[in-house]
Amino acid sequence: MTADLQAASDVLTRQDLLRYYRVMRTVREFEERLHIEFATGEIPGFVHLYAGEEAIAAGVCANLRDDDYIASTHRGHGHAIAKGCDVRGMMAEIYGKATGICRGKGGSMHIADLAVGMLGANGIVGGGPPLVCGVGLKARVTGTDQVAVSFTGDGGSNQGTFLESLNLAAVWNLPTIFVVENNGYAEATSPMFHQAGIEIAKRADGFGLPGAVVDGHDFFAVYEATREAVERARSGGGPSLIECKVLRYYGHFEGDQQTYRDPDEVPDARANKDCLLLFERRVTGDGLVGADELRAIDGEIATLIDEAVAEAKRAPEPALDAVLADVYVSY
């Protein structure tokens, strides 16, 4: 048993392990099905898939309570599912239907559900970190022990908003965690063309914050790094930066021809680094759960996604007179 798995198994029950496998499997099936359905032309707008990065969303959100907050990116389906957003409502939202989680007006890049602390996916690159500074400040001022987490891509980590948020969180000692999902491509650009320095996590040193680099394919590595950061934030220790190195299985957006990638990169990652395979090998190899239990979950999730797609296709379009609803708020 490895150190990460040993540490995690000291606090995670068998039911916990099954729950987090279910989260990762749900995200994977959701994304793989969207890859197929988008090609039919029935889904409006842009779709950016998260497949391959599931261990990050699951490992981070496993440490959060329902009243904690997350702010996501344009690649936000995995974060939303891991934080507890309704899968059927998400599918309907992506189809632009009235039964969607944002009544069909948000689409793939703007899924939000404040009831579960999901502040929103965000089409603005680097838009999430300032949001978590806001809710982090609210938690500190009101005296709660809530924690706020932002997810940002490697390209987004070069935005001024990201660095300004690290500074502000450090100055105000906010209960915030900045997670960078470094999948190796800022849209289609290699880090050698846009990233100064070897590790994004090293930028934490300049603001006096703890910074960590973990394997983003490894649920247990992500879980342990986040557990430490969340405990620090809840106890008044302030913000942290976690860089998760990972590969995405699809292009920047659906339809991206990915001519910038080695054709062997994704097949190799699926065969040797896939987070679901790594998770299964470790928990079954150490006798923590049975392979038959994981297959049962696979079947349940397949049924759930089939039903979610069918319901989304049958659902009505938003009414025209609802266009301006929820746009303006009175105080």
Q: Determine the average pLDDT of the residues in 294-315.
A: 98
Q: Determine the average pLDDT of the residues in 45-51.
A: 96
Q: Determine the average pLDDT of the residues in 79-96.
A: 98
Asked whether the predicted pLDDT for residue 88 surpasses 80, the reply is yes
pLDDT for 279? 97
* Domains observed in the chain: 3-185+209-235+244-287 (3.40.50.970)
Asked whether the predicted pLDDT for residue 327 surpasses 90, the reply is no
Mean pLDDT, the chain, whole residue set = 95
Asked whether the predicted pLDDT for residue 5 surpasses 90, the reply is no
Q: Determine the average pLDDT of the residues in 158-166.
A: 97
pLDDT for 328? 79
Confidence of residue 330 (pLDDT cuts 50, 70, 90): confident
Asked whether the predicted pLDDT for residue 49 surpasses 70, the reply is yes
Q: Determine the average pLDDT of the residues in 160-167.
A: 97
Q: What is the pLDDT of residues 226-283, one digit of tens each?
A: 999 999 999 999 999 999 999 999 999 999 999 999 999 999 999 999 999 999 999 9
Asked whether the predicted pLDDT for residue 331 surpasses 70, the reply is no
Asked whether the predicted pLDDT for residue 134 surpasses 90, the reply is yes
For the chain, the three-class secondary structure string (H helix, E strand, C coil) is: CCHHHHHHHHHCCHHHHHHHHHHHHHHHHHHHHHHHHHCCCCCCCCCCCCCCCHHHHHHHHCCCCCCCEEECCCCCHHHHHHHCCCHHHHHHHHCCCCCCCCCCCCCHHHCCEHHHCECCCCCCCCCHHHHHHHHHHHHHHHCCCCCEEEEEECCHHHCHHHHHHHHHHHHCCCCEEEEEEECCCECCECHHHHCCCCCHHHHHHHHCCCEEEEECCCHHHHHHHHHHHHHHHHCCCCCEEEEEECCCCCCCCCCCCCCCCCCCHHHHHHHHCCHHHHHHHHHHHCCCCCHHHHHHHHHHHHHHHHHHHHHHHHCCCCCHHHCCCCCCCCC
Q: Is the pTM of this model over 0.85?
A: yes
Weakest mean pLDDT among 62-71, 190-199, 218-227: 190-199
pLDDT for 9? 65
Weakest mean pLDDT among 140-149, 271-280, 317-326: 317-326
